[in-house]
Amino acid sequence: MGALKSVFRLLGAPFRPIGSLMGRFLNTPFRQATAVFSLAYVLIEHGIPRIPPLFGLPSAPVPNTVVLEYLVIALVGILLWVSDNEERWSEFKQPIHDVLVRPDRRIWRGALFVIVPALVATQTYLSARPDVSAPPSFRAIHPAPPSAITFQGEQMVLDGLENPLRSTGLLEEHYEEGKRVYYQNCLACHGDGLQGRGHYAQIFNPEPINFQDGGTIAMLTESFVFWRIAKGGPGLPNEGNPWNSAMPVWENFLTADEIWSVIIFLYEQTGRDPRTWELEEEEH
């Protein structure tokens, strides 16, 4: 910092990077408001998606409706600030008023008269033109599990149910068994990397679950995972779109022990921990 300062001094310029920026460009409330608003847009659109990766979490673009909502909030805040005192408010309005009124701003005025209606017309055209996109689809990713299911003809209470194989003392064997079951049955879709990228994965919509993602099995109790495996896509409630899920009904193929083993494999292989029932109760 000191070195930079002396360079500025040598050049005969005062070292006030932010001050001079403010003094030269951001010297009216209107410009300041515009700058803050633009900065808010850039932060929301491009800044927010970069936060989760910092913590090793997956990220996605911010949906347009959310961007819009945040921008409205930012705008309200800015308007509150500029209208906070009378002087700043009239100063803020001045450039707008100038463009509307002053003869020497004729060109600006004309440009706005062309640009704004053109934008509105384009937007109207885009929304009026026939829509060939797929109808909107609502899908609950983690639908509420039933408290009990019928597994291969027998009643099974899911509430409070723990993985029975964890207390046998033979975890390594169950892991190996789960690995066999996984590779013979699950691999084609969920993949060897457990990221939901098997060689068939891209063909299905919705795509297979990514177990490495902290938002999947790590958020769920083992009994929830058991339910999803045992009953598959067709066992989903309506809000889970049972008609489109390619997840098979595994109770038709696997025994309960095989399913519990593959669950152990999923958690061990990804290094994730299942959600516990204590935590589940605390939150309800």
Site for another protein in 18-77 (CB under 8 A): 53-56
Q: What span, in angstroms and rounded, lies between the C-alpha atoms of 191 and 200?
A: 9
CA 89 distance to own-chain centroid: 38
Nearest residue (CB) to another protein, 14 versus 52? 52
Q: Which two tokens stand for residue 83?
A: 């209208």
Q: Closest separation between CB of residue 263 and another protein, Å?
A: 13
Q: What span, in angstroms and rounded, lies between the C-alpha atoms of 265 and 225?
A: 12
Q: Is 80 in the site for another protein (CB under 8 A)?
A: no
Nearest residue (CB) to another protein, 10 versus 101? 101
Of residues 101 through 130, those in contact with another protein by CB under 8 A are 101, 109, 112-113, 116-118, 120-125, 128-130
Of residues 255 through 274, those in contact with another protein by CB under 8 A are 268-273
Q: Closest separation between CB of residue 281 and another protein, Å?
A: 21
Number of CB atoms found within 10 A of residue 270's CB: 19
Of residues 201 through 220, those in contact with another protein by CB under 8 A are 202-205, 212
Among 253, 255, 276, 279, binds another protein (CB under 8 A): 253
Q: Which two tokens stand for residue 111?
A: 């440009």
Of residues 131 through 190, those in contact with another protein by CB under 8 A are 132-138, 166, 171-172, 175, 179-180, 182-184, 187-189
Q: Which two tokens stand for residue 65?
A: 């409706």
Nearest residue (CB) to another protein, 149 versus 189? 189
Nearest residue (CB) to another protein, 38 versus 94? 94
Number of CB atoms found within 10 A of residue 78's CB: 18
Residue 138 one-letter amino acid: F
Identify whether the C-beta of residue 37 lies closer than 8 Å to the C-beta of residue 78.
yes
Q: Which two tokens stand for residue 260?
A: 């519990």
Q: What span, in angstroms and rounded, lies between the C-alpha atoms of 143 and 140?
A: 5
Q: How many residues bind another protein (CB under 8 A)?
A: 75
Nearest residue (CB) to another protein, 32 versus 270? 270
Look at residue 42 and give its three-state secondary structure: helix
